[in-house]
Amino acid sequence: MGGYIGPKLKLTRSVGVPIAETSKHTNPRRTSRPGMHGFRPARRSLYGRQLTEKQKLAYYYNVRDRQLRRYMAKATKSKRPTPEALSEMLETRLDNTLRRLGWARTIWQARQLVSHGHILVNGRRVDIPSFQVSAGDVITVKEKSKELVKRCMESVEERLIPAWLSSDDNKLEGKVERMPFPEDVRLPFDIEYSLVIEYYTR
């Protein structure tokens, strides 16, 4: 969903779960699906359930279907359980890492910080939101961009930094202490990875 520029709340309403951890998404004024037929119950066929689970992941991590398909292909080839491998790849994207550090209010804001060149990884500018961070990586902010990131941090409603990351707010420096465990991945909704796997392997 990297190319989506419409109202983000529509995505939350379409899949029925909050795809951003902000009050607008967790407590929407309207909960029905968007469109003139939104009052009708969502389809509950097997394919419909698979599609919805896939969309929940794609919307939450702001990735296109092609990217998610590539992640799935890598995860299925991994020696680890597919859900665990897929979750780790999505969680350690640079834009999502900024969200986890509390440097951005939403995944879209985090993506913008990265793509506009405000973020450094191990002292080198990285402007690719899908860049995969690794254990030991140090994430910092360009000197000229520190005030911008501080304003972004002030807009974050609740900062809950996971155990696999650490943050020094004074220096605006984050570190990947280790790769995330499955229990470290905090989503604002339940996800059935088995349905996502079935969607891409059908």
pLDDT score of 155 more than 60: yes
Res 2 pLDDT > 50: no
CA distance 75 to 31: 33
Q: What is the pLDDT of residues 3-39, one digit of tens each?
A: 667 788 888 888 888 888 887 787 766 666 666 555 5
Most distant pair of Cα atoms in the chain: their distance: 52
CATH annotation of 101-178:
3.10.290.10
Mean pLDDT, residues 110-130:
97
Q: What does the pLDDT read at residue 185? A: 94
Strand pairing partners for 124?
121
Domains 8-90+194-201 and 101-178 share a fold: no
Question: What is residue 178's DSSP assignment?
Answer: S
For residues 137 and 134, give the distance between their C-alpha atoms in angstroms, rounded to a whole number: 6
Q: Which CATH class is domain 8-90+194-201?
A: mainly alpha
Domain boundaries, the chain: 8-90+194-201, 101-178
Residue 95 is encoded by which pair of tokens?
């834009």
- Residue among 92, 101, 96 nearest 160 (CA): 101
The stretches of 78-154 forming alpha helices (DSSP H) are: 82-91, 94-101, 107-115, 146-154
pTM above 0.85, yes or no: yes
Which pLDDT score, from 0 to 100, does residue 3 have? 61
